[in-house]
């Protein structure tokens, strides 16, 4: 093993060097005293020059050591290098040289009492020096060996009984000292290692404490301040603005469709987007503004010293521009859209709580109206919130108090005018006496998580009504039920419909489920095609509602198990005036028929619309031309009278021929 790799050498730590260094004043003083004592003993046997040389060399060494000690460097923290060990060894050796000469030249020449004093001094030096140097093991060995070996050699050389005795006793003495040095060295190294371990633990604890303090205020992913720190800063900014009579603009920013990025590209990609958006926001704000990440995909900006809402609007436009640039993730481009809600103190709010809730409200309202834009808070939003809250309470009560009702709108075979069935539509009979259509209360019900309860009511009520008709021996034909996106995501609830149909011995093929784009596109709809196949395999029919408005592509027609396609009212409205609309409807009807899918035109209000659709080959019609949605009572009457007209073949709409409704040239143009 190399000298440097010996455990007692390589593990020498800064603590050993420091404690060795700390003893310098004591050892130097001892050296001065020893030098004087020995000089006294040499008096008479050594020349004056030799005595001066003796004193000079020893004093020089001791004084140099004291000087180094005085200059400091006594608190070493750096690791101990080979060079440092060599330096200490060199100094140790330097101190032994005059003593070697002393032994070799004068031992055995002086009077025995002086010799005894010299030997005693040397023994004391060997003991004290080597134990002190034991912190640096090789230095202690070198020191002890060079100090005592000449005594043994000189004793052997003189070979008197007295000198041999000294040589032997010195040898025994240094063997003993060597053992002590080794033990002391080992203990000292262990001690140093323990201190090192403690220091490391303390460092780690300090680091952990610093990290905790940092993360208590900072979001570790984006390194932006977190919600807690944001709250503190917002409080401070509001107090400052109130004192100075200045403004604070609060911008709450929400990434558009961030969940889709996470779902489609994975969470790592989501993280990249968040980090990049954070960087862009930091870049665009001024030094005295403040940006924080306050939630999953939510950021907040506190902007100061805007003199008017226009300043804030300009500032927000810069933010939208900065964020809305593509991010390259795994060689595909993601464009992070962002929606921003803004509230300004003192115009929109007078305190922190109001500022925050108003910015939040502006964000929510803005997002509902369309993403990728900013919205300032306005008082109307607050009254909307209050009325939404009131409606929520009313809706909850309505569920308990049975205030909902299903009405049934007839579906008519366009060619024959026969009643084919009904679409069940919900109505809310408000205690005020008003009948409320779903368009008015669905947004609040959706926002407040009430749709599952409403959907349950619809399904249960449809079953009740169908059983009531069955009990009267009446066949209502096909009944269509609108399925809400939240409803279709609950597979078990949907499968229960099949069981209930079976249990109530109803014909599943008379059961149409109307689904919209929201049921098959977006988060949580992955299993919907499989579920639709299951329902269809169990005899139910699937209808694509509001077709042409939302469905991203016609490919849904071939990818989904569909029986019926309902052309949205918007197309029917403009059927006669808009040629491109007519072309689209015609194409839908033809495409559906080529795929074996029937078509229903929604919202037929005029005979002309009816005629055009008849000419196009559209199968079924629904609209105010035939009937408005009817209560259970009127629907039952209609079924009964339809059954009679079927017998007498007096079918109201089949008799309306094209030529009676439109002059031939206009009809030709409309159906072209």
Residues lying near ligand C2E in the complex (CB under 6 A) are found at 409, 424-426, 437-439, 458, 482-484, 514, 545-546, 569, 602-605, 622-624, 629
Cβ proximity to Mg ion: between 398 and 601 the closer is 601
Stretch that binds Mg ion, among 151-159, 271-279, 545-553, 617-625 (CB under 5 A): 545-553
Length of the chain: 672
72 touches, from ligand C2E, Mg ion, none (C-beta below 5 to 8 Å by class): none
Cβ proximity to Mg ion: between 14 and 438 the closer is 438
Question: Parallel, antiparallel, or unpaired for β 620-622 and 598-602?
Answer: parallel
**Least CB distance from residue 540 to ligand C2E, whole Å?**
16
**Least CB distance from residue 284 to ligand C2E, whole Å?**
41
CA–CA distance, 513 with 523 (Å, rounded to integer): 20
CA–CA distance, 404 with 428 (Å, rounded to integer): 5
Question: Which tokens hold the place of 336?
Answer: 């992070």
Calculate helix-pair angle for 309-323, 267-284, nearest 10 degrees.
140
Residue 539, φ and ψ in degrees, nearest 5? 100, -10
658 touches, from Mg ion, ligand C2E, none (C-beta below 5 to 8 Å by class): none
User: What one-character DSSP code corresponds to residue 77?
Assistant: -
CA–CA distance, 553 with 197 (Å, rounded to integer): 67
Per CB under 5 A, 546 contacts Mg ion: yes
605 touches, from ligand C2E, Mg ion, none (C-beta below 5 to 8 Å by class): ligand C2E
**Least CB distance from residue 670 to ligand C2E, whole Å?**
18
Residue 252, φ and ψ in degrees, nearest 5? -105, 120
User: What one-character DSSP code corresponds to residue 3?
Assistant: G
**Least CB distance from residue 621 to Mg ion, whole Å?**
13
Determine the 3-state secondary structure of 491 from DSSP: helix
CA–CA distance, 463 with 56 (Å, rounded to integer): 118
Cβ proximity to ligand C2E: between 437 and 672 the closer is 437
437 touches, from ligand C2E, Mg ion, none (C-beta below 5 to 8 Å by class): ligand C2E
Q: Are 581 and 575 within 8 A, CB to CB?
A: yes
Q: Mention every residue, 6+ apart, whose C-beta is less than 8 A from residue 472.
A: 636
CA–CA distance, 466 with 475 (Å, rounded to integer): 9
**Least CB distance from residue 672 to ligand C2E, whole Å?**
24
| DSSP H helical ranges for 23-81 | 24-42, 48-70
User: What one-character DSSP code corresponds to residue 375?
Assistant: E
Per CB under 5 A, 514 contacts Mg ion: yes
Question: Which tokens hold the place of 240?
Answer: 């400052």
For residue 73, count CB atoms less than 10 angstroms from its CB and return exposed for 0-12, middle for 13-18, buried for 19 or more: exposed
CA–CA distance, 64 with 87 (Å, rounded to integer): 13
Residue 523, φ and ψ in degrees, nearest 5? -55, 135
506 touches, from ligand C2E, Mg ion, none (C-beta below 5 to 8 Å by class): none
- Gyration radius of the chain's alpha carbons: 49
603 touches, from ligand C2E, Mg ion, none (C-beta below 5 to 8 Å by class): ligand C2E
Residues binding Mg ion: number (CB under 5 A) = 5
**Least CB distance from residue 393 to Mg ion, whole Å?**
28
Cβ proximity to ligand C2E: between 301 and 424 the closer is 424
Cβ proximity to Mg ion: between 297 and 514 the closer is 514
**Least CB distance from residue 457 to ligand C2E, whole Å?**
8
**Least CB distance from residue 471 to ligand C2E, whole Å?**
23
β-pair partners for 374 = 340
Residue 133, φ and ψ in degrees, nearest 5? -75, -10
**Least CB distance from residue 474 to Mg ion, whole Å?**
23
**Least CB distance from residue 633 to Mg ion, whole Å?**
22
Cβ proximity to ligand C2E: between 241 and 436 the closer is 436
CA–CA distance, 54 with 370 (Å, rounded to integer): 98
**Least CB distance from residue 205 to ligand C2E, whole Å?**
58
Cβ proximity to ligand C2E: between 483 and 575 the closer is 483
| DSSP H helical ranges for 80-158 | 82-106, 112-133, 137-158
Question: Quick check: bond before 346 cis, omega within 30?
Answer: yes
Q: Are 436 and 454 within 8 A, CB to CB?
A: no
Stretch that binds Mg ion, among 87-95, 237-245, 507-515, 550-558 (CB under 5 A): 507-515
**Least CB distance from residue 464 to Mg ion, whole Å?**
20
Give residue 277's region: left, alpha or beta (phi > 0; psi -120 to 50): alpha
H/E run at residue 135: none
Stretch that binds Mg ion, among 121-129, 285-293, 546-554, 635-643 (CB under 5 A): 546-554
CA–CA distance, 216 with 394 (Å, rounded to integer): 42
Cβ proximity to ligand C2E: between 360 and 546 the closer is 546
Determine the 3-state secondary structure of 650 from DSSP: coil
CA–CA distance, 184 with 398 (Å, rounded to integer): 88
**Least CB distance from residue 459 to ligand C2E, whole Å?**
9
Cβ proximity to Mg ion: between 356 and 519 the closer is 519
623 touches, from Mg ion, ligand C2E, none (C-beta below 5 to 8 Å by class): ligand C2E
Cβ proximity to ligand C2E: between 344 and 426 the closer is 426
Residues 580-619 that bind Mg ion (CB under 5 A): 602
**Least CB distance from residue 235 to ligand C2E, whole Å?**
44
User: What one-character DSSP code corresponds to residue 79?
Assistant: P
| Residue selected from 110, 461, 482, 609 as contacting Mg ion according to rule CB under 5 A | 482
Per CB under 5 A, 545 contacts Mg ion: yes
Cβ proximity to ligand C2E: between 115 and 568 the closer is 568
Cβ proximity to Mg ion: between 92 and 627 the closer is 627
162 touches, from ligand C2E, Mg ion, none (C-beta below 5 to 8 Å by class): none
662 touches, from ligand C2E, Mg ion, none (C-beta below 5 to 8 Å by class): none
H/E run at residue 636: helix 632-648
Cβ proximity to ligand C2E: between 438 and 508 the closer is 438
336 touches, from Mg ion, ligand C2E, none (C-beta below 5 to 8 Å by class): none
**Least CB distance from residue 607 to ligand C2E, whole Å?**
13
363 touches, from ligand C2E, Mg ion, none (C-beta below 5 to 8 Å by class): none
458 touches, from ligand C2E, Mg ion, none (C-beta below 5 to 8 Å by class): ligand C2E
150 touches, from ligand C2E, Mg ion, none (C-beta below 5 to 8 Å by class): none
CA–CA distance, 50 with 53 (Å, rounded to integer): 5
* Cβ count near 487 (within 10 Å): 22
438 touches, from ligand C2E, Mg ion, none (C-beta below 5 to 8 Å by class): ligand C2E
Q: Which stretches of the chain bind Mg ion, using CB under 5 A?
A: 482, 514, 545-546, 602
């Amino acid at each position: 093993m190399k000298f440097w790799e010996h455990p007692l050498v390589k593990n020498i730590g800064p603590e050993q060097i420091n404690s060795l260094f700390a003893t310098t004043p004591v050892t130097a003083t001892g050296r001065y005293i020893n030098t004087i004592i020995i000089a006294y003993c040499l008096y008479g046997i050594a020349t004056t020059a030799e005595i001066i040389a003796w004193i000079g060399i020893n004093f020089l060494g001791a004084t140099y050591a004291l000087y180094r000690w005085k200059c400091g460097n006594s608190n070493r923290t750096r690791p101990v290098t080979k060079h440092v060990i060599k330096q200490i060894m060199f100094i140790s050796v330097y101190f032994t040289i005059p003593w070697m000469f002393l032994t070799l030249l004068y031992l055995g020449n002086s009077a025995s009492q002086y010799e005894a004093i010299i030997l005693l001094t040397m023994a004391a030096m060997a003991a004290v020096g080597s134990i002190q140097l034991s912190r640096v093991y090789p230095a202690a060995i070198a020191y002890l060996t060079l100090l005592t070996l000449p005594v043994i050699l000189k004793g052997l050389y003189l070979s008197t009984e007295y000198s041999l005795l000294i040589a032997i006793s010195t040898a025994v003495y240094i063997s003993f000292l060597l053992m002590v040095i080794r033990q002391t060295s080992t203990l000292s190294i262990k001690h140093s290692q323990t201190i090192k371990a403690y220091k490391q633990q303390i460092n780690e604890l300090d680091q952990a404490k610093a990290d905790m303090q940092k993360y208590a205020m900072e979001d570790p992913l984006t390194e932006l301040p977190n919600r807690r720190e944001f709250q503190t800063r917002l409080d401070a900014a509001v107090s400052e603005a109130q004192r100075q009579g200045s403004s604070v603009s609060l911008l709450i920013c929400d990434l558009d469709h961030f969940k889709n990025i996470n779902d489609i590209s994975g969470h790592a990609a989501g993280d990249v987007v968040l980090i990049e958006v954070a960087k862009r926001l930091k870049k665009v704000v001024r030094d005295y503004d403040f940006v924080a990440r306050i939630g999953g995909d939510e950021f907040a900006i506190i902007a100061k010293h805007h003199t008017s809402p226009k300043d804030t609007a300009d500032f927000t436009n810069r933010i939208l521009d900065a964020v809305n640039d593509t991010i390259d993730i795994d060689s595909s481009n993601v464009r992070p859209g962002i929606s921003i809600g803004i509230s300004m103190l003192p115009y929109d709010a007078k305190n922190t709580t109001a500022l925050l809730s108003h910015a939040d409200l502006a964000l929510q309202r803005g997002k509902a109206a369309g993403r990728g834009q900013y919205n300032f808070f306005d008082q109307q939003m607050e009254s909307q919130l209050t009325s939404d809250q009131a409606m929520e309470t009313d809706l909850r009560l309505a569920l308990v108090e049975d205030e909902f009702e299903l009405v049934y709108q007839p579906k008519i075979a366009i060619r024959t005018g026969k009643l084919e069935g009904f679409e069940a539509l919900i109505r809310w009979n408000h205690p005020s006496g008003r009948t409320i259509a779903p368009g008015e209360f669905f947004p609040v019900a959706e926002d407040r998580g009430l749709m599952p309860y409403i959907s349950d009511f619809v399904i249960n009520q449809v079953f009740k009504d169908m059983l009531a008709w069955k009990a009267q021996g009446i066949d209502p034909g096909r009944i269509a039920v609108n399925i809400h996106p939240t409803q279709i995501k609950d597979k078990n609830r949907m499968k229960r419909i099949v069981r209930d149909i079976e249990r109530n011995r109803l014909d599943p093929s008379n059961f149409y489920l109307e689904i919209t784009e929201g049921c098959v596109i977006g988060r949580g709809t992955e299993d919907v095609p499989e579920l639709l196949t299951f329902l269809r395999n169990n005899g139910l029919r699937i209808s694509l509602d509001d077709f042409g408005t939302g469905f991203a592509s016609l490919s849904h027609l071939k990818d989904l198990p569909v029986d019926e396609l309902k052309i949205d009212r918007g197309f029917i409205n403009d059927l006669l005036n808009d040629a491109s609309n007519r072309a689209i409807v015609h194409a839908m009807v033809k495409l559906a028929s080529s795929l074996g899918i029937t078509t229903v035109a929604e919202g037929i209000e005029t005979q002309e619309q009816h005629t055009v659709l008849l000419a196009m080959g559209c199968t079924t019609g629904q609209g105010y031309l035939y009937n408005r949605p009817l209560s259970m009572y009127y629907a039952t009457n209609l079924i009964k009278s339809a059954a009679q007209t079927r017998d007498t073949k007096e079918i109201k709409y089949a008799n309306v021929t094209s030529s009676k409704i439109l002059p031939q040239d206009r009809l030709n143009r409309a159906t072209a």
